[in-house]
Structure 1
Amino acid sequence: MDLGLSGRKAIVCASSRGLGKGCAMALAQAGCDLVVNGRNADTLEATAEEIRTATGVRVQAVTADVSTDDGQRALLDACPEPDILVNNNGGPPPRDFKQLDRDAILEGVTQNMVTPIELIQAVIDGMCERQFGRIVNVTSSSVYMPIPGLDLSSGARAGLTSFLAGVARGVASKNVTINALLPGKMDTDRLASSFRNTSQKTGKPIEEVKAMVLQQVPAARMGTAAEFGDTCAFLCSSQAGYITGQNILVDGGLYPSAF
């Protein structure tokens, strides 16, 4: 299906690997020119070249921390008038909430709530003026279903979700949409690290730990970055202009709800 995105310009944050890379690749396959972003210059440039080679679109690589003023400025200098913004950022590491001090809490909230809001503030007026904009925030299924040790990540992302609920309705008439993608058990480095940590703590082999986790997932497998990216690309498409303010679970049925 032609998503109506050929020639559109997209900024995809934290896109050198994992789910962000999946989103960037899918948007490039749909014909978008990209600004990709990450903190490791070598990894980022390798991803940019892979996308260029696979799709032929224009890809700019911006090595930066998107939670800093300089990082955000670098992204927007590379693409002053984006049609698409995919907000993505690494979450705080798992930690018992009693171990969190004020600095750690503020850092988590800055990365996973404040930063996306700041980037949206920077681009949304231009999107409204041009009568096209697609904003996708990568959050987590933990917004709906708590995950032990990820209280800070869950709280910050839930705050972002609630903050933007009204904003999304306020710009819908301008053909600007704001939605969230909520990944579940995805085949990423973060989940692999979780398997290793659990294996070390329990003494169980990693494959046994992995099998126990996947028993909870009705699809009986992990999701892929490509599947996640394709979902992101559809939400950015011309066909998805009537979808806004929604939280789309990409979790293989893990969250047990009828609504």
Structure 2
Amino acid sequence: MDLGIRGRRAIVCASSKGLGRACAMALAEAGCDVVVNGRNTEVLARTAAEIRERFGVTVEEVAADVSTPEGQKALLTACPAPDILVNNNGGPPLKDFRQLDRAAMLEGVAQNMVTPIELIQAVIDGMAERGFGRIVNITSLSVYQPIPGLDLSSGARAGLTAFLAGVARTVAGKNVTINNVLPGKFDTDRIRKTIVFAAEKSGVSETEQAERTANEIPAGRLGRPEEFGQACAFLCSQNSGYITGQNLVLDGGLFNSAF
């Protein structure tokens, strides 16, 4: 399917690896020029080189922490007028909520709520003026279904979801959409850490816990990052202009709900 976004400019935060990388790959495959971002310069450079080689699009590398004002400035300097913004950021580490002090909680909220809002503030009016904008926020299935140890991440991402629900309606008439993609259990470094955390709590091996995790999912497996990236790219497409303020759950049927 032609997504109708060839030549568009996209910023994809935290895209050197994992789900962010998959989104950058899918957007590049659709013909977008992309700004990729990460903290590890070597990993970031490998991702950028692969995107250039495979898809022949323009790729800008921004090695920075997107949660900092300096990191955000660097992203917007690389692409001052993006057509597409994919918000993504690493979440707080797995930790029992009793161990969270005020500083840790404020940092978690800054990472997973304040940072994406700040970036949206910076780009949304320009998108509206140009008559095209697609904003996708990578949040988590834990917004709907709590995951022990990820309480801070879940709370911050739920706050982002509620905050943007009203904002999305204010720009829909300008062909600017804001949606959230809620990953379940995808085969990434983060889910592997979750498996290790659960194995330690349950007193079983990592292999056994990984099997348990897969068996809990109706699809019988972890998700592939490529599947996630293609769903994100569709929400960024010309064809998705009538979808806004929505939460797309990608979880292999794990979240058991009719609505």
Q: CA deviation at 1:196?
A: 2.6
- Where does structure 2 lack aligned partners over 5 or more consecutive residues? none
Q: How does 1:150-189 map to 2 (within 5 A)?
A: 150-189=150-189
In structure 2, what is the equivalent of residue 221 of structure 1? 221
Give the drift of 1:205.
2.4
User: What is the CA–CA distance in structure 1 between the aligned matches of 2:230 and 2:50, rounded to whole Å?
Assistant: 17
Distance 2:240 2:253 in 1: 22
Which stretch has the larger CA shift, 225-234 or 188-197? 188-197
- AA paired with 1:2? D
* Partners of 2:94 and 2:197 within 8 A in 1: no
Equivalence map 1:66-215=2 (5 Å): 66-215=66-215
Deviates more, 1:199-208 or 1:10-19: 199-208
**Secondary structure of residue in 1 paired with 2:185:** coil
Between the aligned partners of 2:210 and 2:132, the Cα distance in structure 1 is 42
Query: How far off is 1:213 after superposition?
Result: 1.2
TM-score, with length taken from structure 1: 0.98
Residue 200 of structure 1 and its aligned partner are, at CA, apart by 4.0
- Report the Cα distance in structure 2 between the residues aligned to 1:6 and 1:154, rounded to whole angstroms: 34
Q: Which residue identity lines up with residue 148 of structure 2 in the other structure?
A: P
The whole-number CA distance in structure 1 between the counterparts of 2:73 and 2:80 is 9
Please list the CA deviations of residues 172-198 of structure 1 after superposition, one character each: whole Å capped at 9, or x if unmatched: 000000000000010000111222333
Task: List per-residue Cα deviations over 1:23-78 (Å, max 9, x = no partner).
Answer: 00000000000000000000001000011001000000000000000000000000
The aligned counterpart of 2:23 is: 23
Distance 1:212 1:109 in 2: 31
How far apart in 2 are the matches of 1:209 and 1:14?
A: 28
Shift of 1:210: 0.8
Tell me the secondary structure at the aligned position of residue 257 of structure 1.
Answer: coil
The code of the aligned residue for 2:175 comes to N
The Cα offsets for residues 220-243 of structure 1, whole Å up to 9 and x where unpaired, read as 100011000000000000000000
The yes-or-no answer on 1:245 pairing with 2:245 is yes
Q: Percent identity?
A: 68
Match of 1:234 in 2: 234
Deviation at residue 203 of structure 1 after TM alignment:
4.2
CA RMSD between the two structures: 0.8
The two structures have a TM-score, normalised by structure 2, of 0.98
SS of 1:210's partner is: helix
Opposite residue 144 of structure 1, the aligned amino acid is Y
- Give the residue type in structure 1 aligned to 2:86: V
Q: Distance in 2 between matches of 1:212 and 1:200?
A: 14
2:2 aligns to what SS in structure 1?
Answer: coil
